[in-house]
């Protein structure tokens, strides 16, 4: 049922007894146009105001479209999506006609003035020619208004809101989408989900990825492909796309020579690290890493209450772990634990020396500076093994974890038990699925079997 002009206040507001046209400005354009556009109609009759408003509404739409076209794709997209919403809400022919006129005005504004004249090969008549980039903008604008095109990142914020992953992985998601949009722009591929109906365009993107980011390794670039795949899987479940076009796609990493794989520390390197001149905090940190096999960030994030009276550390989940992980406190670590927890409140940090980034929105882990400090220390005492073309040394903080696993194996501990202690996924149906895990005393025996090397 059509709305009566006696009650229709769409795009209208009363000001000092007279009606005026008003239109909200998309947030992205408010720095240029203000929050709202306004124009007086000089009438106190709502019926008359409804008859006078449409040319002014379309003039305002043209101003917004012009600013959006100058601002780029994201701004123009918000205008197109608003037109689409208005068309869905329109409930009479007058409104549909007025909005359609506004769309035409907006498209003409996006196209701008003709840059030259072309001759129609069939009729021989002259036709105006426009900037090809603006023609693409106008076509994309029209497709979004018509509901025939969904921008690649249209659902991405909704997808990101449902993710339960680490900040670093969220950063990978954001970088992957930016790379895909950049590739679309550079290759004149419309940045819509509909541009990827099959693997064909996805394969082209993967083929071009190394050239797009030549400084990044295939391992890093494959992370981005994997994050795009996860996003497409989410879209597929919601029937926004028909298939995950990224499934099975990956860059082939360069072959790694046997002597170029990251490795554990040797006994001599361990002695150097544990006897070198550095801070007490670094010495405590290295010993905990060596006698638990834990990754860096969970150690740095320990709180006083995570060192329980029953003699276990409670490490936060990492990688694919679902819950916190218990790890027995080695007898050689008791002095460190007592010193760092004495007189502290339960929620106090175990390592106050590394409070973490001040910016709450950062993607960096709390241990970011800790890692840098360890690298500087290891380099200062010559515990490094670097290779040309590799970003990381073959020995790094993670080598404490490798050293623990190696030391436990050499001490005769079962592989499945070591996997539980360090948080690796256990292999095989019996231990991997049906077993609730070994009792803590078995894990304690595994930890105690590992001994720090003595200085010679």
Question: Over the stretch 119-171, which tens digit does the pLDDT of each residue have?
Answer: 777 777 777 788 888 888 788 888 888 777 888 988 899 999 998 888 888 89
Report yes or no: 367 and 297 within 8 Å, Cβ to Cβ.
Answer: yes
Reply yes or no on whether the pLDDT at 71 is more than 70.
no
Alpha-carbon span 314 to 365, nearest angstrom: 18
**Taking the CB of residue 140, how many other CB atoms lie within 10 A of it?**
20
Residue with tokens 């124009």: 39
For residues 200 and 313, state if they share a domain: no
For residues 356 and 429, state if they share a domain: yes
For residues 274 and 346, state if they share a domain: yes
Total domain count for the chain? 3
Nearest to 73 by CA among 137, 25, 132, 131: 137
For residues 266 and 199, state if they share a domain: no
For residues 115 and 187, state if they share a domain: no
Domain boundary residue, one of 118, 146, 174: 146
For residues 179 and 295, state if they share a domain: no
pTM of the model: 0.58
For residues 139 and 173, state if they share a domain: no
Tell me the pLDDT band of 320, cut-offs 50, 70 and 90: low
Q: Is residue 180 situated within a structural domain?
A: yes
Reply yes or no on whether the pLDDT at 436 is more than 60.
no
H helix or E strand, kind and range, residue 119: strand 116-119
For residues 334 and 352, state if they share a domain: yes
For residues 288 and 141, state if they share a domain: no
Q: Which of 20-34, 67-81, 394-408 has the highest average model confidence (pLDDT)?
A: 394-408
State how far the alpha carbon of 342 is from the alpha carbons of 36, 190, 218, 306, 353, in Å: 60, 61, 47, 13, 16
CATH number at residue 324: 1.10.443.10
Q: Is residue 246 situated within a structural domain?
A: no
Q: Is residue 86 situated within a structural domain?
A: yes
Could you tell me what percent of the chain has a pLDDT over 90? 47
Domain boundary residue, one of 79, 113, 146: 146
Tell me the pLDDT band of 259, cut-offs 50, 70 and 90: low
Q: What is the pLDDT of residues 32-56, one digit of tens each?
A: 888 999 999 999 999 899 888 888 8
Instruction: Provide the domain limits for residue 293.
Output: 260-449
Alpha-carbon span 275 to 399, nearest angstrom: 17
Give the torsion through C-alpha atoms of 332, 335, 340, 344, to 10 deg: 130
For residues 319 and 232, state if they share a domain: no
Tell me the pLDDT band of 435, cut-offs 50, 70 and 90: very low
Alpha-carbon span 65 to 111, nearest angstrom: 10
Q: What is the pLDDT of residues 267-314, one digit of tens each?
A: 999 999 999 999 999 999 999 999 999 999 999 999 999 998 889 999
For residues 107 and 231, state if they share a domain: no
For residues 420 and 343, state if they share a domain: yes
**Taking the CB of residue 165, how many other CB atoms lie within 10 A of it?**
13
In the prediction, which pLDDT does 17 show? 92
Tell me the pLDDT band of 63, cut-offs 50, 70 and 90: confident
Tell me the pLDDT band of 433, cut-offs 50, 70 and 90: very low
Domain boundary residue, one of 146, 167, 196: 146
Reply yes or no on whether the pLDDT at 389 is more than 70.
no
């Amino acid at each position: 049922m059509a709305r009566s002009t006696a009650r229709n206040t769409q795009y209208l507001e009363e000001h000092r007894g007279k009606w005026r046209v008003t239109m909200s400005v998309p947030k992205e354009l408010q720095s240029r146009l203000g929050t709202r556009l306004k124009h007086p109609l000089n009438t106190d009759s709502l019926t008359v105001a409804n008859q006078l408003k449409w040319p002014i509404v379309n003039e305002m739409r043209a101003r917004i479209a012009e600013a959006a076209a100058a601002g780029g794709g994201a701004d123009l997209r918000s205008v197109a999506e608003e037109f689409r919403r208005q068309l869905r809400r329109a409930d009479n022919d007058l409104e549909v006609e007025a909005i359609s006129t506004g769309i035409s005005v907006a498209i003409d504004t996006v196209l701008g003035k003709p840059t030259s004249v072309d001759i129609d090969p069939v009729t021989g008549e002259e036709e105006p020619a426009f900037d090809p980039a603006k023609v693409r903008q106008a076509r994309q604008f029209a497709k979004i208004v018509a509901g025939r095109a969904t921008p690649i990142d249209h659902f991405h914020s909704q997808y990101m809101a449902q993710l339960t992953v680490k900040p670093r992985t969220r950063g990978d998601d954001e970088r992957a989408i930016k790379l895909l949009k950049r590739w679309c722009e550079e290759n004149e591929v419309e940045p819509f989900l509909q541009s990827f109906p099959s693997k064909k365009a996805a394969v082209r993107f993967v083929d071009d990825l190394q050239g797009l980011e030549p400084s990044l390794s295939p391992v890093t670039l494959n992370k981005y492909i994997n994050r795009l795949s996860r996003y497409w899987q989410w879209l597929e479940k919601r029937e926004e796309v028909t298939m995950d076009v990224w499934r099975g796609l990956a860059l082939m990493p360069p072959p790694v020579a046997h002597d170029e794989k990251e490795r554990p520390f040797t006994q001599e390197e361990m002695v150097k690290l544990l006897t070198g001149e550095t801070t007490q905090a670094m010495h405590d940190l290295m010993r905990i890493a060596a006698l638990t096999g834990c990754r860096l960030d969970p150690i740095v994030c320990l709180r006083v209450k995570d060192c329980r009276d029953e003699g276990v550390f409670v490490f936060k989940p990492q990688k694919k772990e679902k819950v916190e992980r218990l790890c027995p406190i080695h007898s050689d670590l008791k002095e460190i634990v007592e010193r760092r927890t004495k007189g502290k409140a339960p929620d106090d940090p175990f390592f106050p020396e590394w409070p973490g980034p001040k910016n709450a929105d950062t993607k960096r882990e709390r241990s970011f500076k800790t890692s840098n400090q360890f690298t500087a220390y290891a380099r200062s005492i010559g515990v490094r093994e670097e290779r040309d073309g590799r970003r990381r040394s073959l020995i790094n903080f993670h080598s404490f974890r490798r050293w623990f696993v190696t030391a436990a194996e050499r001490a005769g501990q079962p592989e499945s038990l070591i996997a539980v202690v360090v948080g690796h996924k256990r292999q095989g149906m019996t231990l991997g699925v049906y077993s609730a895990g070994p009792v803590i005393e078995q894990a304690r025996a595994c930890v105690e079997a590992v001994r720090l090397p003595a200085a010679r």
